Amino acid sequence: MRGLSQRVKGMKPSATVAVNAKALELRRQGVDLVALTAGEPDFDTPEHVKEAARRALAQGKTKYAPPAGIPELREALAEKFRRENSLAIAPDQTIVTVGGKQALFNLFQAILDPGDEVIVLAPYWVSYPEMVRFAGGVPVEVETLPEEGFVPDPERVKRAITARTKALVVNSPNNPTGAVYPREVLEALARLALEHDFYLVSDEIYEHLIYEGEHFSPGQLAPEHTITVNGAAKVFAMTGWRIGYACGPKAVIKAMADVSSQSTTSPDTIAQWATLEALTNQEASRAFIEMAREAYRRRRDLLLKGLSEIGLKAVRPSGAFYVLLDTSPFAEDEVKAAERLLEGGVAVVPGTDFAAFGHVRLSYATSEENLRKALERFARVLQRV
């Protein structure tokens, strides 16, 4: 029998998915474990969203949807991007996808030719470089530094631009650092996209989870060069519903929909009607977002205070729900540190595949009780080391 394709053999599996799956399996085996691995809200999907799904089922809205999404949801998305992001977007400039991940995957398939370069800011979400490579592109890493709050330096980005640069990926608030990029930095990156004629891919899926600073969508400055990616997963605790969305230049969005038409056809129809409720019932959704954001803020502060009290170092995140923890007190590298912490009853994600060397990623999308347990176990592991 012939083997697998070189393309698939060269792709790494998602480190975050793999580590979380391992943590879940250990729990199923009865291991006493605090998992700080998943980038997933621990809140249930809001009731008004679930009720909309029930209504859609009762009304028989169970058929195929168009590849770019049901028209009602695309209209609501255009309004959302105008209202919340100050982007002048028409419905035919939006697309609904099977999670934010598919929006990014389809985008890179749509815009990249072999050898095209995509600048990614390290530390980065693990899937960016793998998606770029799978589409035939070449990821070009530009480092962001802990002492600079993991905020990118536009001059450093500029030095990485070549004649083959096709896109720059920005993610603010950031996974895994929690950094919120200042407006002036995003404006400078948007100007680079305009001056050098490349796409700016703005992943804004954590836009509502900001504790210090403000969110800014760079597509305001470079609308014909920017593809804004978002989704329902983080903001509405709808990870399993698998609804992402994006907006941008009409030709790019159409190409992304063409990719969907030959792969998934469309996202789940019931989930689309549920997402429509989340976007249009603003009063109920706003109350949920504010509740969740305040809970994450408390958890972040509890975690940072506890880490400091036991002598561990982490850069204070301003958004999302992650902390990058310096692992030098635990071990010589982040993988060994993660292994020791797992032996001590805490599952974390090594920073290796994030290009966050010497760090592990902690997710505080879990209860305060779990965070306190984790801190106690960190202290015990530290004492043994």
Instruction: Write out pLDDT tens, residues 212-268.
Output: 999 999 999 999 999 999 999 999 999 999 999 999 999 999 999 999 999 999 999
Q: Are 264 and 291 part of one and the same domain? A: no
Whether the per-residue pLDDT at 18 is higher than 80: the answer is no
Q: Tokens in use for 94?
A: 């939006």
- CATH code where residue 227 lies: 3.40.640.10
- Model confidence pLDDT, tens digit, residues 134-173: 999 999 999 999 999 999 999 999 999 999 999 999 999 9
Choice among 59-73, 85-99, 287-301, 329-343 with the minimum mean pLDDT: 329-343
Contacts of 271 (CB under 8 A, 6+ apart): 53, 238, 241, 242, 243
Position 70 scores a pLDDT of 98
Q: Tokens in use for 382?
A: 């530290």
* Helical packing angle, 269-280 and 282-309, nearest 10°: 90
Contacts of 57 (CB under 8 A, 6+ apart): 270
Whether the per-residue pLDDT at 318 is higher than 70: the answer is yes
Q: Are 150 and 250 part of one and the same domain? A: yes
Q: Are 273 and 342 part of one and the same domain? A: no
**Residue at 271 is within a domain:** yes
Cβ contact 306:55 at 8 Å:
no
Residue whose pair of structure tokens reads 């398939």 in the numeric block: 109
- Backbone dihedral angles phi then psi of residue 113, each to the nearest 5 degrees: -110, 160
How many domains in the chain? 2
Last residue of a domain, which of 248, 265, 281? 281
CA distances from residue 272 to 76, 123, 241 in whole angstroms, order as listed: 11, 32, 9
Q: In what order do the strands lie in the sheet with 322-326?
A: 322-326, 359-363, 349-350
Cβ contact 260:106 at 8 Å:
yes
Burial letters for 126-146: b for 16+ Cβ neighbours within 10 Å, e otherwise?
bbbbbbbbbbebbbbebebeb
Average pLDDT, rounded, for the chain: 96
- Supply the range of the domain harboring residue 314: 6-45+285-378
DSSP state of 319: B
DSSP state of 314: B
DSSP state of 63: S
Q: How confident is the model at residue 1 (pLDDT cuts 50, 70, 90)?
A: low
Q: How confident is the model at residue 16 (pLDDT cuts 50, 70, 90)?
A: low
Entry pTM: 0.94
Contacts of 224 (CB under 8 A, 6+ apart): 249
Q: Are 92 and 67 part of one and the same domain? A: yes
Cβ contact 226:219 at 8 Å:
yes
